[in-house]
Structures are given as structure tokens and as C-alpha cells.
């Protein structure tokens, strides 16, 4: 395996972190990795909010929980917008996560980065490329990371949008936590090649 493939295969979503800060130079390099991602029309439709303040991260975890509770309660949202939430098991899983005392949203990570984008064709895809670059670069520095989909619920949280200055057209395209891993889990199983690959020769 070459170095890139090793990073791709070796990266894991990390949810337990050492109590250790990440220095600013490393953070700047994580952002650099994002900035050099491919983007549709080279539009680079991203802005980055870098949060190192643990108090703020903790507060945001509570805001995510509050917003998720509201989303779960709103029948219309359930019915029309987020089809996965129609699934009973999925809803039970989310409720279990939300009811935990420990931070099962941002896992007490020392760093949270939001990628902010705005409505536009392929903007989400471009930001996902940036997100993956960040996670792979972080892995290459011995850091762990995890994309936190739950945090996208903050897009519906008016107080958050105001505090972080999100304009009407802007939204969280990705939320990723980073930190030095306490332990590295086994890779969750991947679908086998034959199930996901079709050759046309």
C-alpha cells in the first residue's frame, strides 16, 4: 500500500480523545488540506469556523440535543423532510443518544470545525471533498476525527445561526471533531467488492 492508500484505509472515526490541545499550526494545515480539495467550477464554496473553546463545544452539544428533540417532535418534519426519521428504530437510536449525560454528540473533543457553505449546485459535494481531505490529513498527523451529522441540526437553530453569523443562504455543510485518539476502534465492516462494483469491459 502506498502512503495515501494507507491513510485512506487506516483512518477511523474516533470518538474518544486524549485531554490534549491541538496546536494552531496543525489546525491551519487541516484547513489548508480542505482548501486544496477539488470543487465544482473551482468555486471553493466553503468557509471554516474553528472552535477550540471546550465550553463553547459543550454548549453546542446541548444545542444539538435541544434541536434534535424539536425535530423529533415535529410530525411534519418527520413526515416530509427527513425520511430516515420515519424509521422507528432510527428514532429510538437518536433518542438514546440524546438522553445520555455524557457528550455523545461531540465526544468531549478539543476541536470542532464547521464547514459553512451556501445554496448552490454541487456545493455540498465540494464541501464533502474538503471534509475528507481534512480527516485524511488529520489522520496523517496522528489525529483522530469524526464527521458529526447530528450537528447539521444546528442549521435549524435560530440562536446558533445568529451567534455564528450564518446568512439566510448559508448552512453547515460539515461538522467535524478532531483530537488525539485515546483508542482506535476496529474498522467497521465494508461491503465486499463484488456487491458494489460492476465492470464494463
* Site membership for ligand FMN, residue 84 (CB under 6 A): no
Report the length, in residues, of the chain: 201
Closest distance to ligand FMN from the beta carbon of 23 (Å)? 24
Which residue, among 109, 87, 88, 107, has the nearest Cα to 97 in the 3D structure?
107
CB 134 within 8 A of CB 179: no
64 binds ligand FMN (CB under 6 A): no
| Minimum distance of ligand FMN from residue 85's CB (angstroms) | 14
Contacts for 160-169 with beta carbons within 8 Å, 24 or more apart? 160/60, 160/63, 160/67, 164/49, 164/114, 166/116, 167/118, 169/118, 169/119
Q: In the set 13, 140, 155, 170, which binds ligand FMN (CB under 6 A)?
A: 13
Task: Tell me: does residue 65 bind ligand FMN (CB under 6 A).
Answer: no
Within 13 Å and on the Cβ side, how many CA atoms surround 165? 3
Nearest residue to ligand FMN, using CB? 149
Q: Per-residue x/- mask for ligand FMN, residues 129 to 158, rule CB under 6 A?
A: -----------------xxxxx--------
Per rule CB under 6 A, count of chain residues that contact ligand FMN: 10
CB hemisphere CA count around 48 (13 angstroms): 23
Judged by beta carbon, residue 22 or residue 68, the one nearer ligand FMN is 68
Which residue from 3, 55, 102, 188 is in contact with ligand FMN, where contact means CB under 6 A? 188
CA pair distance 200, 170, nearest whole angstrom: 40
Residues that bind ligand FMN (CB under 6 A): 12-13, 15, 146-150, 187-188
Amino acid at each position: 500500500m502506498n502512503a495515501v492508500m494507507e491513510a485512506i484505509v487506516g483512518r477511523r472515526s474516533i470518538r474518544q480523545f486524549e485531554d490534549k490541545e491541538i496546536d494552531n499550526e496543525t489546525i491551519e494545515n487541516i484547513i489548508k488540506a480542505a482548501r486544496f480539495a477539488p470543487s465544482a467550477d473551482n468555486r471553493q464554496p466553503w468557509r471554516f469556523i474553528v472552535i477550540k473553546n471546550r465550553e463553547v463545544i459543550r454548549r453546542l452539544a446541548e444545542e444539538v440535543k435541544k434541536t434534535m428533540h424539536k425535530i423529533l417532535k415535529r410530525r411534519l418534519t418527520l413526515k416530509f423532510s427527513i425520511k430516515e426519521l420515519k424509521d422507528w428504530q432510527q428514532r429510538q437510536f437518536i433518542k438514546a443518544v440524546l438522553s445520555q449525560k455524557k457528550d455523545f454528540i461531540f465526544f468531549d473533543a478539543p476541536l470542532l470545525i464547521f464547514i459553512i457553505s451556501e445554496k448552490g449546485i454541487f456545493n455540498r459535494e465540494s464541501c464533502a471533498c474538503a471534509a475528507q481531505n481534512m480527516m485524511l490529513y488529520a489522520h496523517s498527523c496522528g489525529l483522530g476525527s469524526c464527521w458529526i451529522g447530528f450537528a447539521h441540526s444546528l442549521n435549524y437553530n435560530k440562536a446558533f445561526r445568529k451567534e455564528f453569523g450564518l446568512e439566510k443562504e448559508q448552512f453547515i455543510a460539515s461538522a467535524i471533531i478532531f483530537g488525539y485518539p485515546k483508542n482506535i476502534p476496529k474498522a467497521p465492516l465494508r461491503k465486499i467488492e463484488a456487491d458494489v462494483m460492476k465492470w464494463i469491459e
